[in-house]
Amino acid sequence: MNIALIAHDRKKEMMIQLATAYQDILAKHTLYATGTTGAKIMSATDLQIHCFKSGPLGGDQQIGAMISEDKMDMVIFLRDPLAAQPHEPDVNALIRLSDVYEIPLATNIGTAEILIRGLKEGLADFRVIIHEIEKKPLSL
């Protein structure tokens, strides 16, 4: 599965802790992240992550583009709800796209942990099934 990891500045340390705690599960998937978040996770773990630009420079939009092309299967976005973000419209667009395309999205550590543990149990396999169905040719 393709998984996006995003964290606002005051949540980056929490994201590193999450990635460290669940490194064995995350390592089995293809990981993407906004620039600074991805770099910090990679320096703290053995995880390989494709890093986009930082959020304010378009990283959120790059991940949103992958969602709209059905190339992202899960988003873990640790948001800071108490701090104003200069790129708030991009943040809202990313959340909206996740809803439109039925992408599991965690915006806090509690939900993130449930989604990651669900990965281990196969609870997100519906995304794999959807992709397999879409690849089958229509029979007339």
Which active-site residues does the annotation give? 60
Q: 77, 34, 31: which is closest to 56 by C-alpha?
A: 34
Count helices and strands in the chain by DSSP H and E runs = 7, 5
DSSP one-letter code for 9:
G
Structure tokens at 137: 């040719």
Whole-Å CA distances, 73 to 17, 25, 98: 22, 15, 9
